[in-house]
Chain A
Amino acid sequence: DAGVIQSPRHEVTEMGQEVTLRCKPISGHNSLFWYRQTMMRGLELLIYFNNNVPIDDSGMPEDRFSAKMPNASFSTLKIQPSEPRDSAVYFCASSQNRESFWQPQHFGDGTRLSIL
């Protein structure tokens, strides 16, 4: 089975540029999560969707960050304009949320973002 697929794996860009990270969740999963990993704060949840609807975006750092999920098989996380402090590894995860039981989240391999 294909896991969560993220692209690109690495992104290096200059400050001020727009950055778009992409994620394809596992087929059949109805919840999708975007995380950011840094040394200081570990894994932080930025936003999550259920059935393509944003449920909680309280972790999005500021208005420069936006996320969309136009359909069940695709999501984007956009940073515009990017800043050096946005440099981190960004993970996408998905899960199959059912009312009657709890399912673990499955993570992609991440996008390592470097803003110069």
Chain B
Amino acid sequence: DQQVKQNSPSLSVQEGRISILNCDYTNSMFDYFLWYKKYPAEGPTFLISISSIKDKNEDGRFTVFLNKSAKHLSLHIVPSQPGDSAVYFCAASDPFGNEKLTFGTGTRLTIIP
């Protein structure tokens, strides 16, 4: 049972345009959400997070939006750059799971120069 779902395995975006990566979750107890970025042959690196008490968090070119009623979050990257080409994982945690993170299956983003 996949509690965190990333339904798009891949996405291609033109350099300079906006990239939008989506994530859906089913567990209403999740209260903290994160995005990780992963390059080939490397481990995932933390990108940005959002608490359930907020609906938006911004860090430079990266913005995460949370829609609790829809159990949906999205990551916006603008403008997209070639170095953004990577696999992006959405993850979530709940207050009863201690630090346990539940990850999605990832979306491979390719930025076309």
Contacts and interface: CB of A to CB of B under 8 A. Distances in A.
Interface of A: 4, 31, 33, 35, 40-45, 48, 50, 55-56, 91, 93, 95, 97, 102, 104-110
Contacts of A48: 98-100
Nearest to B44: A107
A105 B98 contact: no
A43 B98 contact: no
A74 to B, nearest CB: 18
A41 B5 CA distance: 10
A43 B44 contact: yes
| Chain A binding surface, main DSSP class | strand
Contacts of A93: 43
A31 B99 contact: yes
A50 B98 CA distance: 10
Given A91-B44, A102-B32, 11 more contacts: A41-B105, A42-B104, A93-B43, A97-B98, A102-B49, A102-B99, A104-B46, A104-B49, A105-B99, A109-B41, A109-B43
A42 B105 contact: yes
Among B34, B93, B105, chain A packs the most CB atoms within 10 A around the CB of B105
Contacts of B97: 56
A4 B99 contact: no
Contacts of B46: 104-106
A95 B99 contact: yes
Contacts of B99: 31, 33, 48, 50, 95, 97, 102, 105
B30 interface: no
Contacts of A110: 41-43
Interface in B66-88: none
